[in-house]
Structure 1
Amino acid sequence: MKRDAATCGGCLVSAVGVVGAVWVWGASSRTQRHLGQDFEGNGMDLGAFFVELPLVVVGGAVVPGLVYALGAWLLAGRRRPEPARGSEFHA
């Protein structure tokens, strides 16, 4: 059950990362300028939309997910019990 909770947490962190990254990207003055929010719609550049937006979405999903996975891996490694020294199969 712990593994399912960790997977759900990683997916949730990635989803929040995507939403946050797209929101910050869309609210920036640079993006607004490239999408035509300048004087009378001059300077509209859809290349910013078609090139940058997919990169923002992928980066927003991957980076938080990797950080979460690294933290979960480090915490799981510290809590892992020590293996037994002897074994019943070795005499």
Structure 2
Amino acid sequence: MILSIPFGKVSTYGAVAAAAGYPRYHRAVARLLHNAPVDHLPWHRVVGAGGEIKVPGAGAREQRVRLKLEGVAFEGKRIDMGRFEHIFKPWEVYE
């Protein structure tokens, strides 16, 4: 599901989990991404509910930079989810 998030868009941990068929497993998605090898998945395109970066420390700064390089705009600490959120299409959703 993470690989289907296009360049310049973001999704939330909860939306990724739900699209994968596990709507209550948002923490598992976060653990997967935070422990995945760098650049194995586009981890920077997944954020917390409401568009906030949840990665701690230096990872948060890197995530913000990567998203800005893709054209994602921030309003303070949050991403404008109305503009940049990727909505999974039915054919992308695991069932």
Decide: shared fold, TM above 0.5: no
Which is higher, the Rg of structure 1 or of structure 2? 1
TM-score, normalised to structure 1, is 0.23
